[in-house]
Amino acid sequence: MTELGHVVYYVRNLEASLRFYREAVGLDVSGTIFNGRAALLSGGRTHHELLLIAVGDAEGPLTGKRIGLYHAGWKIGESLDDLKQARERILKQGYTIDGQSDHTVSQSLYLRDPDGNEVELFVDNPAFDWRDDNSWMSAPVKPLVL
């Protein structure tokens, strides 16, 4: 089972983007992260289907980030074992994994497609109930060891 989990955009103006995705698309704000510089939005299916990260005109610590797509996240299974199997398959096929992260609510692998677009492959953490506990939004991203 593989399904699109979420999309992440770099945006110039977070408030304008939030207004658009709430009003025009019908998403609700699940919470904010990165000291209010990013917002998670959901239609209710999962903890977030969209993450908006404000970069303004891409000055300062995010210099070099372009406005628009950051990455698409694909849910590839239900367990950490599924993620381990995906990692083994990806490496066996000769692809490079750029990073591995534990987001508390999910665990992820990051790689790039042939055009350099970042792709996240993830599984949700079945031990974490995101519907009743939003503490993951303020939890630091941790390295994932598989």
- Domain count of the chain? 1
pLDDT tens-digit readout, 43-97 = 988 889 999 999 887 555 555 567 888 898 999 999 999 999 999 999 999 999 9
pLDDT at residue 58, rounded to an integer:
58
Q: Which position has the token pair 């995010």? A: 62
DSSP-assigned states of every residue in 97-138: EEEEEE-SSEEEEEEE-TTS-EEEEEEE-TT--TTT--GGGT
For residues 9 and 25, give the distance between their C-alpha atoms in angstroms, rounded to a whole number.
15
Any idea what the Cα angle at residue 58 is, between residues 56 and 62, rounded to 5°?
115
Domain residues for 66?
3-143
Q: Read off the CATH number of the domain in which 47 is found.
A: 3.10.180.10
